[in-house]
Amino acid sequence: MIKLFKVKEKQRAENANGMSTVKKQSAGELRLHRDISELNLPKTCSVSFPNGKDDLMNFEVTIRPDEGYYLGGTFVFSFQVPPVYPHEPPKVKCKTKVYHPNIDLEGNVCLNILREDWKPVLNQPNYEDPLNQDAAAVLRDNPKMFESNVRRAMAGGYVGQTLFPRCM
């Protein structure tokens, strides 16, 4: 479970004059605070706040898979959460260039629940929505070649005409 700080403590910041200032949090910030505090991430994932923990609406998740095609890699995703969350989905970008059916070479993540199928109560993504059509076709038609392409990309090599930086 991720332990942040209590909302009340955050809202009661002392200014230089010793006067108490209260920053009113939006419903989205309160919901996100609850959602983040309830996370029970596996040891392969971590959350960081590049702008400090006062900015919960912008954070990064680092994933280090311990199984599957991406075993041994490190992948960083940035999240920008809108003020009207959970009624609108967060914007998610993969900051690590990766050969993946659901992530294009610019880091756009294609998960339909982050677009038209978003609902405030969802907690499981749908991975059946390819964005990188070439990677999806290779995975569908030749899983061994797909695995080879993933390994080559993660090691810092070319897949087709695209050079991937090392992420292992």
**What are the catalytic residues?**
110
Rg (CA), the chain: 19
Q: What Cα–Cα distance (Å) separates residue 91 from each residue in 86, 114, 130? A: 12, 7, 17
Q: How many whole angstroms from its chain centre is CA 70?
A: 16
Angle at 142 between CA 138 and CA 144, to 5 degrees: 110
Residue 85 has φ and ψ, to the nearest 5°, of -55, 140
Write the single-letter amino acid at 45: C
